Each structure stands twice: as structure tokens, then as C-alpha cells.
Amino acid sequence: MQTKQPVSVRKRVKSCMNAALSVGLASALLLTSVLLPGNALADSNPAQGEAYAAPANSHDSNFSPATLQFLKSKTGLDGEQWDNIMKLVNKAEQDSLKWTEYYGYCEDIDDDRGYTIGIFGATTGGPNDTGPDGPALFKEYDAVKGAANPSVQGALARIGVNGAMKGSILKINDSEKVFCGKIKGLENDPAWREAMWHTFYNVYIKYSVEQARKRGFNSALTIGSFVDTALNQGAEGDSGSLEGILAKSGSSTDEKTFMTNFYAKRTLVVDTNEYNQPPNGKNRVKQWSSLLNMGETDLKDADAAVKKVTGWTMK
């Protein structure tokens, strides 16, 4: 499993994000989806399937049918649960609940980790990140696009980016404006979105689910809490990583007791080591612990609860 070093979290630049479709087009497509049975619309036009997998007011509409099936089979959680997990993650990453607007996110946040990309902050690598996950994302994109021998270089060629691997680091030779413009152009590419979820799973979600299940825990809140910790502080590694926090959280087989300890231990370090800018880290953990205390462990019918716990202001 690839281990990613933690990324410094701050407010991201969001001005480059635009609505993918006009209201008129959305209305026309929605009308068509009503007239066609099942997922006929998505099946008839894969490029639109990502945005129109389900009615516009459904949690499932934020995922393609393929991604929904992938997440359900790998994690046991459905579209509503993953949509709520991503809202909680994105609030602390981007100060927004509209996480689907960040597939094309790209920025050099001057943390010596290269460029930060997409919905889980994949990095191209640098002095503070010698094991970046950005290369895995690009290689996966090349694979999804049908390459017989997927490679980072193949993916860069597909999107017209000048760059190459220098050891474990992906060195981008284009300017930030050019490179990030290319990434933004992938925002609504179904292959890019699929590659992003596959990489997200391989780097963070898989380990998080394994750690929950080995303790006998299967709730969406626990899995989401572990995923949020892994992408923010690293999955495996030092005492601040998910692995390190778990090691300090005791061995209770009662999920609420264990997770209460887990949140307490994470709170002690979440605003250190450039994981978050204080007090964002403590508020980040409080989102999850508040939902635990509210009894919202399955993250179902939890729209009001999620909105309530994400009402804090990011510094």
C-alpha cells in the first residue's frame, strides 16, 4: 500500500470552479431521465452519466453508477453515506460542502509537496513529501483510459502536460497556470473521476476500512473518521498518522467508547505538525465526535445533522 505524507490544510483557491452545466441543459437532461427507464440516460451517454446517475436531489447523483457500485462492494457503504463523508471531509479541506466541485482542483499551496490535486489532495511530491500519491493517480487515469501498459508519462501525454518522474517525485515543467488549467479541464471527465476514486481507495480508504473491520466496527461514521484522519495526517507511519492514533486509542470493543477515545487522541495532535491551521483541526475532529454524540453513526437521513456540525467558520 502506498503511504502518503500529510498535507498542510488551509483554505483553497476556489475562484476557478465553475458550474458544469447551465440550468437549461440540466433541466432538459433531467426531463430526459424521467422519460428513460433506470439508468438509460447514463448508459446512453457515459460523459453525462457521472452527473446524472440519479435525480438531482439524490445523494447518489454525485457519483457515477460505476463508482457507486465500486464503493458499495469495497466498503459496504452507499451513495448517501459517502456523500455525507465527503461533505465532512471537504468542509475541513476547502471550507465547502460542495465537494464534487473539486475533481479539477489544482494548486501549489507552497508546502514543499508539489501540486495538490482533486477531492482528496493528491500531491506531485517535494521535499516534504517524498512518497506522493499524485503519480499513482495519473497512472490510474492512463489505465482507465485504456492504456495497455499504464504509466504516469502516458497520462501526462494524454492531457498535454510536460513533466516526468524524478525518482518518486513527479516534476511538472509547465507553469502553474498551464498545468492547473489542464487539471481543471478534467473536472467532468468520467475517466478522471473514476481514476480518482480508485486511487483514493487504494491509498486511504482501503486501509481505513480494514482498520475499522478488524476492530469489529462497520459504521459509516467510524469509516469516515478513519478516512478523514488518513488523508489529513497520513495512513501509516508516525504517531500522528491514523495508524499512530489508533495505537493510542485503547482496545475497547464498544464502538462508541473506542471512537470517543480516538477523537480525544486525535484532537491532541490535529493542529500540530502542519496538519491543520489552528483551530481548524479541533473543529475538524469535533464534526465527527458531535455526530457520534448525536447518534448519527450510519450517516443516513443525516442532512440536517451534517449541516449543523459543519456550521463552523474555517480560519
Exposed (0-12), middle (13-18) or buried (19+): which is 147, by Cβ within 10 Å? middle
The b/e string for 294-304 (b: 16+ C-beta within 10 A; e otherwise) is eebbebeebee
Give the three-class secondary structure for 16.
coil
Q: Which of 50, 111, 129, 194 is catalytic?
A: 111
In angstroms, the Cα distances linking 243 to 77, 85, 141, 158, 247 are 22, 20, 28, 36, 6
Cell of residue 279, nine digits: 483551530
Is 93 one of the annotated active-site residues of the chain? yes
In angstroms, the Cα distances linking 181 to 20, 106, 253 are 15, 8, 48
Q: Which of 50, 80, 83, 93 is catalytic?
A: 93
Is 176 one of the annotated active-site residues of the chain? no
- The residues annotated as belonging to the active site are 93, 111
